[in-house]
Structure 1
Amino acid sequence: MEECSLKKSENCSSQFNVMEDNHFEEIEDTRSAKEEWEPKPGMVFDSFDKFFQYYKSYGNKMGFEAIIRSSRKGDDGELIYANLTCSCGGKWNGNSRNAFKTQSLTKTYCKARSTASRRPDGKWQIVSIIFDHNHELSSLGKTRYFKSNRTIQPNLKRKLEVNDRIEIRPNKNFNSLVVEASCPENLTFRQKDCINYIKKVGRIRLGVGDAYAIQKYFLKMQNDNSNFFYIMDFDEEGRLKNVMWVDARSRAAFKEFGDVVTFDTTYLTNKYDIPFATFVGVDHHGHSTLLGCGLISNEDTQTFVWLFQSWLACMSNCAPKAIITDQDKAIRNAIEIVFPGTRHRWCLWHIMKKLSEKLQSYHEYEHIKFSLQNVVYDSLTHEEFEERWNRFIDKHNLHDNDWLLGLYTERQRWVPAFVKDTFWAGMSTIQRNESIHAFFNGYVNSKTTLKQFVEQYENALRDKVEKEKEADFKSFKSRIPCISIYPIEKQFQNAYTIVKFKEFQQELASKLYCEISSFKEIDSYMEFIVKEDVIVGETCCRVPFVVCFDETSCDVRCNCRLFEFKGILCRHAIAVLIHKEIYHVPEKYILRRWRKNIYRCHTKVRISYNSWSTNLEGKRFDQLFNSFSMVADLASSNDDDCNMVMQMISDMKNKLMLNENAGGIDRSLSMSTNSRTNCESVQYTFKEGSNNCD
C-alpha cells in the first residue's frame, strides 16, 4: 500500500515537474518572440515607411497604437527625423472646440516611443527607444479597433458605393459585408467607418434629366451675361459632388452689400436629401439679397472649405468683413481656413432656441430662462455681463452645466455685449436665411425635382428683383412725414430709404424717454450720462447710458453701440446732439449703405430673369458700357491718352450730375428723349476721343 502510494506520489511529482518544465519553456518562447518583435537602438530600415510599419506592427502585437508624434524635414524638403509614440502619449487639450460636447479622454502622458533619423545613405536608423507604458495594453483581439487599423479594402468600398446608390440603408449595407466575412471580427472596420466612407464619397443624387437641366441653365445664364459664375466639383470617377453658382447681379450686389454675410444650409426639398447652402446679405431696404448658393453632398469641413474658396474666388478674393452662422463645427473650421480675417459670430436665435432642450430638466426652468435672457440682452459692457453671468450661475447652482460652460467660454462669438462693436447691418440672427428659403415658396415644394428647382429658380429671382424695384420706387416717390421740428430728422428723411428712415425716426421718438442727468469734461471730450426709462416686466426703471461727445470733430459715441452695430444713431446720442444744438449731423453718420439716392451698380447688370433686354435704360447702359470698354482699351496704352479720357469723363460726370440735380432724383422716370440725347452725346464724345487716341 505504501509502495503504491509512493509510486503514485512519484508519478504525481513526475507529472508536476513536467508541467513546470513545459510552462517554463512556454515563457521562454514568448520572451524570445517578444525580443524578436522589439525594436532596438541601431536597427536600420530602407525607408521611413518601413520603419513606421515595423513599429506599428510591434504596437499591434503589444496592444498599443503607434502614431507619428513629431517629424522634421531637411533643407531638401525630405523627412530626416521622426518620433513615433503611443497614441496615449501627450496631453489632452480641452480647447474651446470641445466646449459643447464632452469627450472621453485617451491621453495618459504615456512616454513609450521610438525615435529614428535618416542616415546620409538614405536609410533610417533607430536612435532611441522607451518601452514602458503607464496604462493597460489592449488584448490582441481588440487592436483591430485602433483607428490606424480600421481600413476598408478597395473591393469592399466599391460594394458599399453600389449598395448605397440603389438606396440600401447603411446598417443593411454593413450587414451584407458581415455575412460575407462570416463574423464582424473578420472585418477590419466598423459600421461607423462604412457610414463615414459613404458620406466622404458622397455626391449629389441626381434624378433623370437633372444634370442636363443644371448644365443647360448655367450655359443659358453665362451666354446672357459672361459674369455669371459657376463651378462644379467632381469625384475621381467623374460624379458630381458639389456645385456653386452666383449670377451676375448677385456678384455686383456683393460690392454694395457684401460687408456682412449670413451663411446657412438647409435641405432643399423632401424629395432630395441635398443640403442647399446660401450666402445672404441685406440691401438698403433691409431686404434679404442672395449673394450666391450651392448644392453640396456633405456638410463636413472639406466640403465647406471648397464652397467658401469657390465663392471667394467668384468675389475677386474679397472676403466679407463679418459673417453669421450657426454653431456647426465644420463651418467654423472652414471659416478659420478660408476667411481668417473675417469676424465670425453665431446666430443668437439658434442659441436661445436651445434653452428648453438644455435646461428644461431643472425644476426652476422658467425662472432660469427669464434670468438668462436678462443677462444676455440687458448687459451693456463686458464687465457687466461677466458680473451678471456669475451671479446667475451662483444663484441657480449651474456650475456643472457643460452647455452653459461652453457658451460662456465662447461668449465673444454670440453675446451682444461682445459683438456689438462690429457692424452687422442690424442682423443678429440667421433667420434672414430662412426668409430666403421662404422666398422660394410658391416655386418649390416637397415634391419638386432638382430639374424643376433649377427652372423655377429664375422665376423666384425675378420676383425678388421686382420687389426691390418697387421698394426703390416707393422710397423715391413717397416719404414718411416728420414727427418733429428738428432739421436732423429732415436730413435723414431726404437721405435714407423708407425702411431705414423709420428706424431712425423710432430712435428719435424714443428720445422722449431719455434725460441727460449729468455730464463732465474729460480731456478733449465730454461724457454725458443719459438715463432712459424702460419697462422691465411690469415695472418702469431708469437705465443709465454713457455718451461721449467731442465738440471739435462732432464725434458722438454711446455705450449701447447701436450705430456701430446697425448704422443707425441711437436715442441717447440724438439726445446729446440736440442738447448741444447740433441739428445737422456729419456725413459719416449717414451711411451710404442705407441711402436711397445712390445708383447701385447691381441694378444696371443685364440678366435674363428681369427682362433687361426689353428695358430702354438697359439698352442705353449696354451701349455706353461697350463704348467705355472700347475707349478704355485704346486709352490705356499711354499716360497722355489715359489722362485725356479721364478728364473727359470727369467733365461729363459733372455735367450729368448738374442735370440730375436740376431734374430731380428719380432719373429713371425722367429719362426720355433728353436722356437718349445725353446717351448719344456721350457716345459721340467718346468716338472723338477714340479717334484722338488712334
Structure 2
Amino acid sequence: MMSWELRHELSDHSGLREEEIPVIGMSFDSLPLAQEFYTNYAKKLGFVTKVRNTNFDKTRKDAKIPINQSLHCTREGYRESRVKAATRSNRITATRCKARMYVMLDREKECWVVSIVELKHSHPCSAEKVIHYHEYRELTMHAKCVITDNDEAGIRPNKTYLALANEVGGSSNLSFSEKDVRNYIASNLRCSDDNADFNGMMNYFVRMKEINPNFFYAIDVDDANKHGLPFASFVSVNHHGKSTLLGYALLVSEEILSFELVFTQWVRCVGIVPKGIIIDQCKAMTGAIRKIFMRIDVSGCQYSSRVNFGPSGLVQFVHEYDNVLGNKEQKELEDDVVDSKGVIPCIGSTCIERQFQQEYTSNMFRTLQLEVRKKTDCVVRSTEQKGDTISIKVDEQKVFWGKPVYHTFIVEFDPLSRKSRCECNKFESVGILCCHILAVCSYYRVDTVPSCYVLPRWSKNVIRKHTYIKSSHDVARSNETHNLFKHLCSEFYNVAQDFVACDEEAAILRAALSDAKSRLTDYRASMRSTTLDGTQNTMPTQSTGGVILHDIQGPSRVKTKGQPKGKRLGAELDKLIK
C-alpha cells in the first residue's frame, strides 16, 4: 500500500493534488480508462508511458479477454548497444526506470483495479518539456481548422505555424511543432494514392454539379492517362478590363487531337462559337481551332495570361483552381462596389468624354482617358472626299530619345452617320476608341459618338447575366466536426466581443464557460461507459461518402526530369564515411 506521506510528498514535488496521484485499490470501469488515467498522470509529471505486457484469459477460446496489464515508463529496462560508439546513430533511452502501474480485472465487481504502483523514476521528469515529446504532440481542433483554411488560401506552413504560435504567446506554449503542421497537410490535405486522388476529383465534380446544375465538366479517359498533364486555361476580360477565368483543361498532350477535344467540349459548355481567340504561339492549337471553328479570328501573343499552380495532385489542383476562381469573383464584386460610389472626374470639358464617364466602368474610363490625353498630340493634316466618306490623314507626334517622331494614320469618317474607322484598328482589337478618331470627332465638332462605339461589355449600367448564375465553390472540404467547431467559435466570438470592455462582464462570461465545461465533463463521464461498451462490440465500417464511380484506375506517374534521388555519385561513399 502507498502511505499518505508518500502521496503528500509526491503531490508537493509534482504540483499535483493528492486525489490525482494513482493509488492501490483505485478502480476503473474499463481498461482504456485506466490507460487514459495513467497517461494523463504521466503528462502532468513529465514522462511517457507504454503498455509493457497484457495477459488474456486462456480459458476463453472464442475471444481474447484481457485480465491484467502492466503500464510502464518508456525508459524502463536496460539496453546495451552492440554498435560501436563511433558509428552509433540511435540514442539509448533505457535507464532501468521502474515506474509503473499494474491493473487487473476484478471479475466480481466487473471493474479494473490498481494492484501495484511504483512512482519513483531513475531519471528527471519535466512537465514543461513533456508537451514537446512526439508521443504527446497533438494538433488541436482549432489548429487543424486554421491549417486547413490557410492551406486552401495558399499560405505556407511555416507562416501558419508562426501565426498559431503568436496566438498562445510563443512556440514553446504549443503542443505541436512545425513538422506536425507539415505532416498534417501531407497526410490529411494531400492525396498520395493515385486511385483515391482520381476518385476524389470525380467526387468533387459530382458534388459541384449538385450544388450548381450549370457546372460543366467532361472527362475522356484512355489507357495512356497519366500525371504531369499540361494545363490550359480559358481566360477572358470582364467589364473592368481585368482577366477572368472561364474554365480549364488538363491535356493528354499538346497535339492537335488533344486541342480538338478541348475546344469541342468548350462549345458544348458555352453553346456558342467565339468570334475571336488569342492564343500562345502554338501551331497545334491554331490547327485545332481552324478545324473546329472554321472561320474565326485567331491571333497570337508572345506572353499570355497564365495561372501557375505548380505540381500538385488532382484534388489539390481543383481546390486551388476553385480558390483562384473565388478570388477573381470577389475582386470583380469589389470593383462593382467602387463603381457604384461615384465616377472618375473628366480631364477635359468635351461631351464625348462625359458620355463615356456615365457609361463605362472606372478602369475602362481611365483607359479611354489615355486616348483623350493623346488626342492633343494628334493633328488633322489633310482631308479627301471619297463618295459618302471622308479620308482623313492624322499625324500623331511621339518623342523618342528626345526627338519628335510623327506617325500618320488614315481615318475613314462618315459625316451623316458619324461613324469612323482608323487603320490602327484599336477599337476593333481593344474595344476603345483611339486618339485618332477622337481627334477627327473634335475636328468635325462631333458632340457624341454613335452607340455602336459605347460597348455594353465595358458598361457599368448593364446587368450581367453571369450574376444570376449561382457560384459553385466547394464548401465540403472540411468534415462536419470542423464545420461545427467553426460555427461554435464564431458564435463565441460574437458574444465575447460585446463583453470584453468591462471586467465584471468578462468575469461573468468566464464563469459561465467554466460552468458549461464542468457540466459537459460530467455528461461525458456518465456516457463514456455506455459508449465504450458499444464500440467494443461493434466493428467499424467504412463509407464511400460520395457517389459510386466506375472502376477507373488512377493515372500513372510520369517520370519527372532531373537526376533521380539517391543515385548521386558518391552517395555510397558518404554512407560509409558516416
- The TM-score normalised by the length of structure 1 is 0.39
- The TM-score normalised by the length of structure 2 is 0.47
| Richer in helix (by share) | 1
